[in-house]
Structure 1
Amino acid sequence: MISVVIAAHNEARVIGGCLDALIADAGPEDLDIVVVANGCTDDTARVAGERPGVRVIELAEAGKANALNVGDAAARGFPRVYLDADVVLTPGALHRMAATLTEGDSPPLAVMPRRHMVTRGRPLAVHAYYAINTRLPIFADALFGRGAIAISAAGHQRFDRFPEQIADDLFLDSQFSSAEKQEVVDATSYVQAPRRTRDLLRTLARVRAGNTMLRASHNGVRASVPSSWLRDVVLPRPWLAPAATVYVAVTVAAALKARRHPRDAWGRDDSTR
């Protein structure tokens, strides 16, 4: 049985769509879905609990890492999928990821769907940023940035708990070599881009701060490649130079903002909730 763990903090507006896509695809009898509503002041728990087969655990304090650990302990099966509450998977994606983890003589230990950034209706700066970001080669075998990660039982043996840092997806990425990960090309996750430029800056700053904290406390975490946007994206595609100007400006601004980022905040975008 596939287990899906969703850490949800004030996700009442979006979690219904996430869960409905899962249930319509697989059916509640084929899935073990655990939603950990942490520190919520909205109807996240009620909305999730109305879906058939969904188990809801409520925690008083907000914190994604703790919520993931609680959900992990409650989950019953493998493969294990960690899914963001605002992400929608395409039909068949869940089972294709699960099949990839279990088929063949030496299946991967972790898989991820292709990422589709939803940028419709966003300002030009957000479009420009993702015109570069979505072409970065680091995402070819990266577990992060997709809102959905699936691991096998053998893969789960690589770690005991999620650390308290924000970067849970980067942490999972650091547990596996490139040869042990695989993108499932016929599975897609729809990830909502921030609706405003200031929301993009806030989200990037939080993610950057979490990544820095994780790299300082754990070995083997993938390093960033600051020049990749130029070498791998813009030089082969010079028509992206205007977008690159925005990308660099946003990246630098987010780096400066990250220095003031609180250590315990969620690294997420609230504008899409």
Structure 2
Amino acid sequence: MTPGVSVIIPASNEGQYIGPCLSALLASGPVPRQLVEVLVVANGCHDDTVAVALRFTQAAAQRGWSLHVLDLPEGSKINALNTGDQHATGGLRIYLDADVTVSPDVLPELADALTSDQARYGAGTPRIPAPASWITAQYARFWQRLPFARSNAAGFGLFAVNAAGRARWGRFPDIISDDTFVRLQFAPRERVQVGAPYDWPMAEGLARLVRVRRRQDQGIAQLTALFPELMQNDDKTQADVWALLKADPVGFGVYAAVSGLVRLTRRRDSAGWARGR
């Protein structure tokens, strides 16, 4: 590995999002003394994801960065992550969802925070853009009050590890929650959240909220069953239900409704990766 930064972006039919994602990334502030490479790993795409990503090759070169677009026939996020890792050369690895947009200071702050010989995990400060649907707005407002959403370096949509941190595991296993799998490789004291924000859009509409929440629950259950030793690093605290209800009764009701529908439909979407939009 070199001292540089590798940004790995799995993308499956992300033609609508990959342009804004790369535009924001290429608008990042300078990362001193670091070579930066971006790897867009298109997987199973039937839209213009690859074509859109390739349009940014020259802009990356003008910054002194490199941008590579890998076009895989199989639609698998885990395979995309592993393929990206195989091609990456940077010691600092940043894993970025294709529908996330970073602010200019995310890369510089992560590069600075993770410069260490000790294993470190880092994340930016997440923001949820204003949802388009009423139900998602209520759900998102309440969800942001939950202990996990307020926890240090939760890492949904964007997380980073330094070289010593990446050595904690080999290939990504065939799991649902790759982000949680990585975060739980690190004790809470080894995680750092930088102040720079990034935008992480939430699924729009009741059906998609239920679908995504179901997959999240399945992912945690899967990790608990397959990697019980990692759960010792889970610092999630119990929510104060009554305080949450009092603070936002409408949001609480929407969140409870989504949770109830997840339980009623828990047998669906039992395999594969489901995107939320």
TM-score by length of 2: 0.86
Q: Which position in structure 2 is the counterpart of 1:47?
A: 52
- 1:240 alignment partner, one of 237, 248, 271: 248
Q: Which position in structure 2 is the counterpart of 1:161?
A: 171
Q: How many residues are aligned here?
A: 261
1:96–1:27 Cα change, 3 Å: closer
- 1:202 alignment partner, one of 208, 211, 214: 211
Q: Is the 8 A contact 1:100 1:108 kept in 2?
A: no
Superposition pairs of residues 64-213 of structure 1, within 5 angstroms: 64-102=77-115, 109-123=120-134, 125-139=135-149, 140-145=151-156, 147-185=157-195, 187-213=196-222
Tell me the CA shift for residue 121 of structure 1.
Answer: 2.2
Aligned-partner Cα distance in 1 for 2:226–2:175: 9
Tell me the CA shift for residue 92 of structure 1.
Answer: 1.4
Equivalent AA in structure 2 for residue 211 of structure 1: I
Aligned-partner Cα distance in 1 for 2:190–2:184: 11
Tell me the CA shift for residue 144 of structure 1.
Answer: 3.8
**1:35 to 2:48 alignment:** no
Could you report, residue by residue, the CA deviation over 1:229-271 in whole angstroms, capped at 9, with x for unpaired residues? Answer: 516x516xx23122212211112212333322231223x212x
Aligned-partner Cα distance in 2 for 1:120–1:210: 24
Q: Which position in structure 1 is the counterpart of 2:268?
A: 260
Gaps of 5+ in 2: 58-65
Q: Which position in structure 1 is the counterpart of 2:60?
A: none
Report the aligned-residue RMSD: 2.3
Could you report, residue by residue, the CA deviation over 1:21-45 in whole angstroms, capped at 9, with x for unpaired residues? Answer: 1112157994210111111101111
Aligned-partner Cα distance in 2 for 1:120–1:269: 13
Q: Is the 8 A contact 1:117 1:193 kept in 2?
A: yes
Gaps of 5+ in 1: none
1:245–1:225 Cα change, 3 Å: farther
Aligned-partner Cα distance in 2 for 1:133–1:255: 18
Aligned-partner Cα distance in 1 for 2:271–2:42: 20
Q: Which position in structure 1 is the counterpart of 2:63?
A: none
Equivalent AA in structure 1 for residue 12 of structure 2: H
1:258–1:54 Cα change, 3 Å: farther
Q: Is the 8 A contact 1:64 1:166 kept in 2?
A: no
Q: Is the 8 A contact 1:128 1:243 kept in 2?
A: yes
Tell me the CA shift for residue 218 of structure 1.
Answer: 1.0
Could you report, residue by residue, the CA deviation over 1:181-223 in whole angstroms, capped at 9, with x for unpaired residues? Answer: 01112x1110112221211111111222222222211122366
